[in-house]
Structure 1
Amino acid sequence: MATDRALARRRFLARIGAAGTLLTLSGCTKLSQKPWVANLLGEVEKLTLRAQRLFAGSHALAPEYAEADIAPDFRANGTQDPASDAYSAHVANGFADWRITVSGLVEHPLSLSLAALKALPSRTQITRHDCVEGWSCIGKWTGVPLATVLAAAKVRPQARYVVFHCADNMAAAGDVPQFYYESLDLLEATHPQTILAYELNGAPLPVKNGAPVRLRAERQLGYKMAKYINGIELVTDLSGIAGGRGGYWEDQGYSWYAGI
């Protein structure tokens, strides 16, 4: 019964959180750019964040599923291959030279190889991916809790957000590169189910799903779960990064908080 109530709360919060994004997806881009609408959506986003943490708790777990629920082919969202020369070279050598840096407001900056990441304590979880486009898919993810990596880097007290820098260039050919990025606040970043995933369904992460490492933040919609991660940065605020709204799609008008 308690589980049913928790799921009902999550669905209710998801409907609220999707409201701002749907204005853009339903062809209301111009409307969503009007100051009064933008202010309204900002208030809805804050309400959604407060509501989730009030009803669900700051570290309440997202539902986990059984092996029988796993989709035979996990559907990909967003970029399915960065396709740059540098990324293709990494694919060719099995990501042996891939590095994830941890920088910004930390006492001990890190540069972790894929092998080093896999040597850390891992977590496996079977969870449902909910895409803002309206589809869902269940997969089995293995990776390192982000909290473990942040603890090793020793986050400074003034840090408030974790920014994920990625290898997929979202700009059109010939334009100035615009690499995908996302962010979480420290509470969501240290959630037990927030992991740097390197395996999907018991095998190395496929390219279409974000190889070699992607974020899994199981209480968020899919666009928050950055793929092809090569940098993690701790910051006080988000205003000086790219468009200043905390993520590639957020800079296009999506809500920063995408809790479900």
Structure 2
Amino acid sequence: MIRPIAMLVGAFFVGALLWAIVKTPLTNEVDKMKAFHLEPKELHLASDGPFGHWDTAQLQRGLKVYKEVCAACHGLGQVAFYDFKALGYDEDQVKAIASSWPIQTATINPDTGEAATRAPIISDKLPQPYLNEVAARAANNNAYPPDLSLITKAREGHAPYLYSLLTGYRNPPANLPEELRPSGPLHYNPYFANLNIAMPPPLTAEGQVTYDDGTRATVDQMAKDVTAFLVWTAEPKLATRHAYGWAILGFLLVLTTLAYMSYRSIWADKKH
């Protein structure tokens, strides 16, 4: 009886030792990453808070940044062209925007060997930049660019994280351990979870896009504008929800007041 128990105890300690050997380097590496990881910067958008609303001028600028910079790799599969009416565009303007975004089809153009395209209509969802995940990975060193429709909700830190990530690219610090330094196609960004991200800096210089309203297109401004736009794609009904919420609160306040006044009127002369 003693021998089996001793074997079990011995096996337990051997397993604990192996676990410690396997986990210790990983734990140490995570601790090293935390020492260099930065929390998201502060970001204040018009849509923040219970009185949040959309700054349509900023959203239009953000759409321009997305279209001219981000759309080459990242899709917006949950957004249709007609949704852009909410950004202050009329139907003709939406059609003009859609016309510059040809829709790829599953057929192959026999003359070029490439995917055939068709003219979009405003009820179409925005086209994906790649036909499938295999093509996306092949074009991005095996990294898969995520769809951005819900990105500000899908990532911890939300909009401030995205803004920080876009403006956070820099050279690795001199004291960064060798095992944490970016290699190959990776780029150092202290706002990214493991410090090294496959996406190269998308916003690299002032004037990378030209804003129609004359706003100076600094890297910081472009990052704020596209972040605001992606907050809208993730929750386009936010302003309407806020308006309904305040209307409902007002209704409940009036109803509560009337109910209390009725109570006082009916029971004022009643004795307990």
Structure 2 length normalisation: TM-score?
A: 0.21
Q: Considering only CA atoms, is the larger Rg found in Structure 1 or Structure 2?
A: 2
Which has more helix, going by share of residues? 2
Structure 1 length normalisation: TM-score?
A: 0.21
Which has more strand, going by share of residues? 1
